[in-house]
A = this chain, B = another copy of it.
Amino acid sequence: MKLATIRHAGSTTAALVVGDAFQPLPAGNLSDLLGMPAWKQIVSEAASEHPGLAAVPASDVEILNPVPTPAKVICCGLNYSDHILEMGRDLPAYPTLFAKFADTLTDPDAQIVADESVDLDWEAELAVVVGTTLQNAREDEAAAAIAGYTVANDISMRDWQRRTLQWLQGKAFDRTTPLGPVMVTADEINPEAGLEVICTLNGTEVQRGNTKTLVFSAAKLLSYISTFTILRPGDVVLTGTPGGVGMGMNPPLFLKDGDELITEIPGIGTLRNIVRTRVTADL
């Protein structure tokens, strides 16, 4: 099943995707829905009892960031072997982890406004949404606790990221990580079997990776993180980006005003974001 957070007729709601329409669910957004212990049952009943009956056509709907209020957004920094090698690093024994905030996230078609950065870069990623509380979880327990998957672009301010040893300030600008458009439930797709992760800049493909080459799978990441901090329903984990980021190019290529960034994982969906920055093509 595909779940979303939508705005319709002036209000916001969690919704089940039914064909080309959205069936509202009894929660203000998907974060709130996942916070309900019976969320799976609520979704199943909505899907089976009156399928499509109260659905709103896609044309009347604005699709928002599906999970707007995670208490934790934890990201894995170097997780695709090709990206690790392009950054000049060795394959890791442990996942490199850093945090973002709920405020860092934005809608799947949001403009990315970044006037403070001149080295703005893309990072297409698979994002995992937690469905059940996890503490010191084994990998199989972590796998069973995944609510679903969505698409993210961990847009990074490389100039800020490189100011100090810690990446946070280059990774946590408000409203710069688009997420969505939907969360596909974990029973429907399997990243370990392979999902393509594709990023296109102004019509040119710049990244194409496959989640089967992740050094740390979604379940491994959740298990590892749950060793030191509790994960709760609605928390989001970004699994890292494949090769092809701008700073890895020779010469490096960064985003400029008006650039169109398309981030896609077939089977989940597509983010489409226009960049707004004071960096223009003439610079």
Contact = CB atoms under 8 A, between A and B. Distances in A.
Contact of A166 (B72, B104, B166, B225): B166
A167 to B, nearest CB: 6
Nearest to A69: B71
A160 B103 CA distance: 27
A163 B94 contact: yes
Contacts of A93: 163
Given A103-B229, A104-B229, A94 B164 contact: yes
A142 interface: no
A99 B168 contact: yes
A166 B98 CA distance: 6
Nearest to A72: B101
A172 interface: yes
A101 B94 CA distance: 21
A168 B116 contact: no
Interface string A55-98: 00000000000000001101001000000000000001111111
18 contacts: A71-B101, A71-B102, A77-B165, A93-B163, A94-B169, A96-B166, A97-B166, A97-B168, A97-B169, A99-B101, A99-B168, A104-B229, A116-B227, A157-B228, A160-B228, A166-B166, A172-B229, A174-B228
How many chain copies does the complex carry?
A: 2
A230 interface: yes
Interface in A157-202: 157, 160, 163-169, 172-174
Q: Which of A163, A172, A174, A229 has the most CB of B within 10 A?
A: A229
Interface in A13-54: none
A130 to B, nearest CB: 14
A256 to B, nearest CB: 20
Interface residues of A, number: 34
A240 to B, nearest CB: 12
A72 B71 CA distance: 9
A174 B101 contact: no
A145 to B, nearest CB: 17
A169 B224 CA distance: 10
Interface string A214-228: 000000000001011
B229 A173 contact: yes
A169 B97 CA distance: 7
A92 B172 contact: no
Q: Which of A71, A92, A97, A116 has the most CB of B within 10 A?
A: A97
A54 to B, nearest CB: 34
B164 A92 contact: yes
Contact of A95 (B98, B164, B173): B164
